[in-house]
Amino acid sequence: MTQLSQKRRSRILPPKPMQDEERARRRQRSDELAMRCNVIFERLRPQLIETHYNWHIAIDPDTEQYIIDPTLNGITEKIVEAYGYTSEPKLTIFRLNDTGCCGKI
């Protein structure tokens, strides 16, 4: 084997470095979206937690519509079906439990 075949590469081109301003702008938009969704989540949680405990819920803050599914893979599939692929965040995923967290530390 040659040296080249032993070395594995994950990308053809190296990733473009993100500017600090762009990173901060994206983080701010993500935090604002999370805050808007959290208000709706806190309103929905008491009625859904009884029948769908520990399920995942994705909330669209603009329409206040939500998608629920017992698995993370299931909810992501439903989100892709409903919204397609996009680089802009539109939903926030929570878990219908006491904290609302689904793995974020």
Residue 26 domain-assigned (yes or no): yes
- Per the confidence metrics, is the pTM higher than 0.75? no
Find residue 93's DSSP bridge partners.
58
Question: What is the mean predicted confidence (pLDDT) over 25-36?
Answer: 92
Q: What is the pLDDT of residue 7?
A: 59
Residue 16 domain-assigned (yes or no): no
pLDDT exceeds 70 at position 6: no
Note down the domain range covering 26: 22-95
Q: What is the pLDDT of residue 13?
A: 72
Residue 104 domain-assigned (yes or no): no
Q: Tell me the pLDDT tens digit for each residue of 51-97.
A: 999 999 999 999 999 999 999 999 999 999 998 888 788 888 999 98
CA distance 3 to 48: 57
Residue 11 domain-assigned (yes or no): no
Domain count of the chain?
1
Residue 47 domain-assigned (yes or no): yes
Q: How high is the mean pLDDT of the chain?
A: 84
Residue 70 domain-assigned (yes or no): yes
Top pLDDT among 105 and 74 is at 74
Q: What is the pLDDT of residue 56?
A: 94
CA distance 49 to 103: 18
Contact criterion met (CB below 8 Å) for 22 and 81: no
